[in-house]
Structure 1
Amino acid sequence: MKEHKPVVIVGAGVSGLALGNFLLREGIDCVVLERRDRDHVERRQRAGVIDTRATRAFRKRGLEDRVVGGAPVQAGLGFRLDGRDRWLELAVEEQLEGRFCPQQVLVRNLITVFEQDGGDLRFGAEVAVEDIDRPRVRLGDGSIIEGDFIAGCDGSHGATRAAVPEDRITHHSHEYGYAWLVVLAEVPAVRPTLLAIHQRGFAAQFGRGPTASRFYLQCPLGDTAEDWPDERIWSELETRFGEPIATRGPIVEKQPMPLRGEVLSPMSHGGLHLLGDAAHIVPPASAKGMNLALYDADALADALVHYYRKDDPSLLDAYSDTRLREVWNYQAFATWFTDTVHDAGDATYRGEFRHRVARADFERLFISGTANRLLGEFIAGLN
């Protein structure tokens, strides 16, 4: 069997579902194909903040009230420096409009709205990309979907990235040299965000809804989940936060994650355009991964609308170059912020010199309006 869809979206993560909803609102037919089942997709927990720019992208298409929930993002960051509270008020010139919204909540809302509006969403769809220059995918049942374009939204190990010949793509990567133990626990967050800078290493707590928190603990490369029994996790968090954990709820999952950055260039190959983790990865300390994926979806939707309504491919032709300029800008921010919050606490990894430089960088945020505003612009997605 063979069918045709103008836009074939592979992957029902944030970028794929956002793009599908954006196109549907603009009257452009598409299909979203996801190899996992619905339950897995709706339970997958990662990011938790939709920044100002991403919120505005949903508003632009009349979707903000339907998909963006959660408390407003505060105009500041809470730090615990050597056991002492430091609140950094961000002096941004524009009003912050971001939301604390767990990724699984955003995904569920995007799925609901897409289906309510008549979108074609298929779970359990095994996809092989047969041609990227004349876009065509084959499903596990042997059927074929041909399209004008393929949007690769299926992550760093997905079918769309694998379909690009190695001689047509350049991989740029950076390994930070340490890992985070990523912990999901049934513990309500006392604060929406708390970042601890401590000589034993970085730690953080982020709210993930009213009853859950995501904790992060800097740990050596090579550590396994078995190296971190629950009691050790709670003890180390209390040491780095400098206070007892008010509630020790069940730990639902824990997994070491080496910190890395990655950019693939170009992001367009014939009729295939890559989005989100399929094209770039930033460390979670910057809180930009999900938001960069949403920027990609917004930009590609604008380019496709321009193409179909005006028969003008100029925005599509410029998609890769335009997005890569911004991706590298936010990679620069992510690298600086990640190194600063780690080096400012831990002098053992890169030495006393880098430790003191990071402390100076950190203190500058409190005394320099220029440095403070720049940080605020990056956090809001407005730089």
Structure 2
Amino acid sequence: MRTEVAIIGAGPAGLLLSHLLAQDGIESIVVETRSAEYVASRIRAGVLEHSTVELLDSVGLGGRLRAEGDEHRGIYLQWPEERHHLDFVDLTGCSVWVYGQTEVQKDLAAARSAAGQEIHYEVTDTALHDLDTERPSVSFKDIDGTRQTIEAAVVVGCDGSFGPSRAGIPQTVRESAERVYPYSWLGILADVAPSTDELIYAWHPDGFAMHSMRSATVSRLYLQVPNGTDVSTWSDDRIWDALATRLGHGQNGWRLRPGPITEKSVLPMRSFVQTPMRHGRLFLAGDAAHIVPPTGAKGLNLAVADVAVLAPALLALLRKKDAGPANSYSENALRRVWRCTHFSWWMTTMLHISEDPFDAHLQLSQLRWVTSSEAGAAGLAENYAGLPIGF
């Protein structure tokens, strides 16, 4: 097989990149280890930044988002006996949208299917070759076990933490930085209407809690738990009791509505950045290059920002024979990656309980400053909702 861009990974980053390239007349083939059904059902991010929504609108992918998503002006920050609303629109002019990654994936998959995009699902033994040449290739075994090869001008790794692309950057070149946090999130999906109009981020002596949502009838909630927590040790009643305590059930008349829990999982928290994000004709985007804890709602938005920078760079390289934007892709993308990595770290360390009581005083001091200082609130709002794609 021959194409211009071989894309490894059919999640949001890979499919959005194929969509952006197709709009510029650039052909691509996508390969994916998982099944289409598995990729479509992965429960991931649910908050889209202002710039992400604008980009999806601009390329014809925002229709269902606008019709079925939920626009939010801001978030609540909370600690015992205190709850404060930060209005992002007043502070920065930017809102965010609650629209699950599963829905973004559906929209992308439908658009690529309608366009006849070639996607190979359930492939195995994916390998990258000749990345230092102008004719790199990707080989794999298809679902029938037949060995296939895609010859391309460019290979893009959008295959997350466990795919082969990250290792395509030679050890002599690549560097990584990582922070593993001493706690995890126990996340649930529940068939119950949200008990809040906007997300609640709650600091509590028992541990962090968060109230999010997926729709008018489905709530998404999280609890800070120790690393290594076995989800089976948390009964539904125990989860709802802990959420009620940490989110302030009964505080100023507010009540948490419990409901049937349909999904439980434990998510470890870590930050990871690998540099560079480009070597030869290999480019990395999304989780293949970086991971952030979900506290700052940055994972999916960073992947979108990566491919929004990469697509025009590949257009310049392949159509205009201008290698400048491709050569600067890693540097340009990493500016935003590190800004969002810092913000995610800051939100995480401000809200999660540690074993050191000194930290609790620092956290409450930060929360009081952010909620009482317009400058502090504006800084949080800009990072959460208002960073432009090219930042």
Aligned-partner SS, 2:25: coil
Tell me how far 1:370 sits from its aligned partner: 1.5
Instruction: Provide the secondary structure at the position in 1 that maps to 2:195.
Output: coil
TM-score calculated relative to the size of structure 2:
0.90
1:40 equivalent to 2:38? Answer yes
1:371 to 353, 371, 376: 376
Contact 1:129 1:138 in 2 (8 A): yes
Specify every segment of 5 or more residues in structure 2 that has no aligned partner in the other structure, as ranges.
250-254
* Corresponding residue for residue 168 of structure 1: 173
- Structure 1 Cα separation of the partners of residues 381 and 265 of structure 2: 30
Look up the match of 1:287.
297
**Is residue 148 of structure 1 aligned with residue 153 of structure 2?**
yes
Number of paired residues?
375
After TM superposition, give the deviation of residue 132 of structure 1 in Å.
2.4
SS in 1 for 2:86: strand
Query: For residue 258 of structure 2, what is the amino acid of its counterpart?
Result: T
Q: Is the 8 A contact 1:10 1:152 kept in 2?
A: yes
Partner of 2:318: 308
Helix, strand or coil: the match of 1:77? strand
**Taking every aligned residue pair, what percent have the same amino acid on both sides?**
34
Q: Is the 8 A contact 2:69 2:215 kept in 1?
A: no
- 2:187 partner SS: strand
Aligned to 1:19: 17
Equivalent in 331, 334, 355 of residue 341 of structure 2:
331
Q: Is 1:158–2:157 an aligned residue pair? A: no
The 2-side partners of 1:221 and 1:73 are apart by: 33
SS of 2:15's partner is helix
The CA RMSD measured in Å over matched residues stands at 1.9
| Distance in 2 (alpha carbons) for counterparts of 1:74 and 1:208 | 12
Q: How big is the shift at 1:48? A: 0.5
**Which position in structure 1 is the counterpart of 2:282?**
272
Name structure 1 gaps, 5 residues minimum.
none
Q: Matched residues in 2 for 1:305 and 1:60: separation?
A: 17
Shift of residue 351 of structure 1? 2.4
1:60 maps to 58
The match for 1:234 among 230, 236, 240 is 240
TM-score normalised according to structure 1 size: 0.92
Tell me which residue corresponds to 1:136: 137
Pick from 339, 358, 366: which aligns with 1:353?
A: 358
Amino acid at match of 1:27: G
Q: Tell me, in whole angstroms, the C-alpha distance in 1 between the residues paired with 2:28 and 2:263.
A: 35
Deviations 1:235-277 (A, max 9, x none): 111111121532321x233222221100001111111111111
After superposition, where does 1:60-139 map in structure 2 within 5 Å? 60-65=58-63, 70-90=68-88, 94-126=92-124, 127-134=126-133, 135-139=136-140
Worse overlay, 287-296 or 127-136: 127-136
Report if the CA contact (8 A) 2:169-2:278 is conserved.
no
2:257 is the counterpart of 1:246: yes
Offset, 1:292: 0.3
Superposition misfits of 4+ residues, deviation over 4 angstroms: 66-69, 91-94
In structure 1, distance between residues paired with 2:264 and 2:188:
4
CA contact (8 A) 1:66 1:113 kept: no
Q: Alignment partner of 2:360: what SS?
A: helix
CA displacement 1:134-191 (0-9 Å, x = unmatched): 4211120211101111110010011212333323211100112111112222233222
Is 1:211 matched with 2:228?
no
Asked if the contact 1:53/1:381 (under 8 Å) is kept, the reply is yes
8 Å CA contact 1:224–1:255 kept in 2: the answer is: no
Could you list the per-position Cα deviations for residues 39-87 of structure 1 after superposition, in whole angstroms to 9, with x for gaps in the alignment? Answer: 1111111100111111222233343336665434322212342154322
Structure 2 SS opposite 1:128: strand
Q: Determine if contact 1:133/1:271 at 8 Å carries over to the other structure.
A: yes
**Structure 1 residue 97: deviation in Å?**
4.7
Contact in 2 for aligned 1:69/1:101 (Cα 8 Å)? no
